[in-house]
Structures are given as structure tokens and as C-alpha cells.
């Protein structure tokens, strides 16, 4: 079902009038984690003012270590839904377990599956009937074929609205957190009809590389970008402050992107 052989035309996912996978670029911006109502409200206002369409933010965080901040949980879903509604943005949040799919689907417009869960097959099966579009991140050691097979689980379960996300893979290079595989963008678009979103924040792990790799992703044909932005990155509650843009950088990036591709 994910293959272009089966479905020659591009899939365009229409969420409340925002079309993902068409001719226009969709930009998803926001913090790594939802921290407080004030934080997410302030960032939502900035995403909207810059011209973004989707507010990102994790309420449930998949942390490498068990003692790190794990996210504010269901309260965060509520905070984000309110901020999205107030500022006229769609919302995307990560869901980590099948038990939480229904509640995440109740509050968010798009469900994100993180790199660590790309092959959590019970979770993927549950997404087939969640009633929301899904952004499926590529596992950091997954091949294109493995990513497409993971998408297949969701499609086969009855949900046609899947976006594929390149978020960087693990290579021998340690200067960057991951290696953003730009080649994935045209390859996935050739093999599949699904929209492809690029995540240069996790793909590089370094703020100063996010802007050039966003532009490179758009040049390679990405249908959208997901970008971390924070008003106070040095004090953010996850380690992802180092890869989060400052609000003025985010706004400047979107201005520059308009020259490369029309933003919805």
C-alpha cells in the first residue's frame, strides 16, 4: 500500500484545510517538550507569527536514560491543544505506547511515532484505527525498506494518512548527533506516494546546522519540515536546547524558505 506502483499519484493529506504532500511546504515548529502552559502558548504565538502551520511538542518523551525528564504527560496534551486552538495551529505530538494512542488522538491533530518506536508493531497496528494522520519517523538504523514496511503496518490497518520523516541515522560521524540522510527524501518519494518530512533538528543535533539543512531538504523535495524552536533553549527541560532555534532564527528561516518553495 505504501508503494508508488500501487498508488501512482502523491498522497495529499488534508487536515483542516492544511494540505501536506501537495505543492506547498508545511512547517511544523515548537519545543522538543511541552513544559508549561505559558511556555507552549508563547512558542505557539511565535510559530504562527513566523508563518508555520503546525505546533510540535512532546508531552511524552522517549529519553535515553530513565532518570531524565520524561515529559509532563496528559497535562501537556491539554496545554498544547489549547495553545494550538488559540493561535490557529494544527498540533503534533509523540505517542509512545498503544494505551496512549486514543488520548493523544483526542487532543492532537497529528500523531508522531519516534525513531525508537518505528518498529513497535503493536503501536503501529493501533495507529491503523486511530483516526488521525501519523508522522512516522525513520528508525536511526532503519533502511528505506524497513521504514516503508513500518508505514505499511499503519496503512494495512486502515489509516491512509501516513507521512514519512527523515530524522537522521547513526553513522561513524560523531560531530553531528545523527547524519541527516538527504538522499532519503527523493528515494522515499520515488518508492512511495506518501509525503516526506525532514527533521534537521534531530538530524544534525546542532542549532547552526538546522537552517542550511532545512534549505537543503527543501531543495531535495521535502514536503515539509519539523523544526525545534524554544524561547530559552539553554534552560529547556530536555537536552535538545542545543539544536533548538531561537525564535528570531526560526522566523528568519521561514522568510528565506518562502523564496525556495511556497509555504501553505
Binding marks (x or -) toward ligand PEP, 58..87, rule CB under 6 A? x---x-------------------------
Q: Under DSSP, is residue 110 helix (H, G, I), strand (E, B) or coil?
A: strand
Q: Under DSSP, is residue 18 helix (H, G, I), strand (E, B) or coil?
A: strand
Residue among 56, 22, 30, 90 at smallest CA distance from 262? 22
Nearest residue (CB) to Mn ion, 33 versus 155: 33
Q: Where are the alpha helices (DSSP H) in 35-73?
A: 37-50
Candidate residues 109, 181, 211, 240; the one interacting with Mn ion per rule CB under 5 A:
240
Burial 142-154 (b: 16+ CB within 10 A, else e): bebeebbbbbbbb
List the interface residues with ligand PEP, window 170-209 (CB under 6 A): 202
Cα 33 from chain centroid (whole Å): 13
Candidate residues 2, 13, 28, 32; the one interacting with Mn ion per rule CB under 5 A:
32
* Shortest distance (Å) from residue 77 CB to ligand PEP: 15
Other residues' Cβ atoms within 10 Å of the Cβ of residue 157:
14
Nearest residue (CB) to ligand PEP, 58 versus 233: 58
Residue among 195, 120, 124 at smallest CA distance from 162? 195
List the interface residues with ligand PEP, window 92-131 (CB under 6 A): 114-115
| 167 interacts with ligand PEP by CB under 6 A | yes
* Shortest distance (Å) from residue 195 CB to Mn ion: 21
* Residue 220 contacts residue 261 (beta carbons within 8 Å): no
Considering CB distances under 5 to 8 angstroms, the limit depending on partner class, which of Mn ion, ligand PEP, none binds residue 115? ligand PEP
* Shortest distance (Å) from residue 5 CB to ligand PEP: 28
| 48 interacts with ligand PEP by CB under 6 A | no
Amino acid at each position: 500500500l505504501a508503494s508508488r506502483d500501487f498508488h501512482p499519484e502523491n498522497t495529499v493529506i488534508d487536515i483542516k484545510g492544511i494540505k501536506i504532500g501537495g505543492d506547498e511546504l508545511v512547517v511544523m515548529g515548537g519545543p522538543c517538550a511541552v513544559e508549561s502552559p505559558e511556555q507552549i502558548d508563547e512558542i505557539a504565538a511565535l510559530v504562527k507569527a513566523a508563518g508555520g502551520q503546525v505546533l510540535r511538542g512532546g508531552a511524552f518523551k522517549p529519553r535515553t536514560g530513565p532518570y531524565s525528564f520524561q515529559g509532563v504527560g496528559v497535562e501537556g496534551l491539554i496545554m498544547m491543544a489549547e495553545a494550538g486552538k488559540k493561535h490557529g495551529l494544527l498540533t503534533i505530538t509523540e505517542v509512545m505506547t498503544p494505551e496512549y494512542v486514543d488520548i493523544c488522538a483526542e487532543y492532537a491533530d497529528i500523531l508522531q511515532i519516534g525513531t525508537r518506536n518505528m518498529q513497535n508493531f503493536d503501536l503501529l497496528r493501533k495507529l491503523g484505527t486511530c483516526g488521525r494522520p501519523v508522522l512516522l519517523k525513520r528508525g536511526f538504523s532503519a533502511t528505506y525498506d524497513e521504514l516503508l514496511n513500518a508505514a505499511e503496518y499503519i496503512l494495512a490497518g486502515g489509516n491512509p494518512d501516513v507521512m514519512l520523516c527523515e530524522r537522521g541515522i547513526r553513522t561513524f560521524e560523531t560531530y553531528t548527533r545523527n547524519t541527516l540522510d538527504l538522499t532519503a527524501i527523493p528515494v522515499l518519494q520515488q518508492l512511495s506516494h506518501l509525503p516526506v518530512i525532514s527533521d534537521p533538528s534531530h538530524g544534525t543535533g546542532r542549532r547552526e546546522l538546522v537552517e542550511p539543512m532545512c534549505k537543503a531538504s527543501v531543495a531535495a523535495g521535502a514536503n515539509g519540515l519539523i523544526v525545534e524552536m524554544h524561547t530559552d533553549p539553554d534552560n529547556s527541560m530536555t537536552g535538545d536546547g542545543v539544536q533548538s532555534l531561537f525564535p528570531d532564527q526560526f522566523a528568519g528561516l521561514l522568510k528565506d524558505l518562502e523564496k525556495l518553495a511556497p509555504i501553505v
